[in-house]
Amino acid sequence: MLGHGYYGFWWLIIAVLDVLAIIRIAQSSAEPIWKAIWIVVVIALPVLGLIIWWLFGPK
């Protein structure tokens, strides 16, 4: 019963982190094609994409 209320909370946190990641990607000095690829990865794979970007993305 308690688990159902927390799913929305966690997805809200993930969504906020994804938006912040997309902003940082867009502001990075990476080539435009790599920015586009990273943004697609973060949007297509919200949790995994965020982790991959954090580990390997443009700094």
Q: For 5-9, 22-26, 37-41, 52-56, which range has the lowest pLDDT when averaged over its residues?
A: 5-9
Q: Rounded CA gap, 38 and 18, in Å? A: 11
**Do the beta carbons of residue 49 and residue 42 sit within 8 Å?**
yes
Q: Where are the domains of the chain?
A: 30-59
Return the residue matching tokens 């954090």.
54
Q: Rounded CA gap, 51 and 11, in Å? A: 15
For residue 19, name the pLDDT band (cuts at 50, 70, 90).
very high
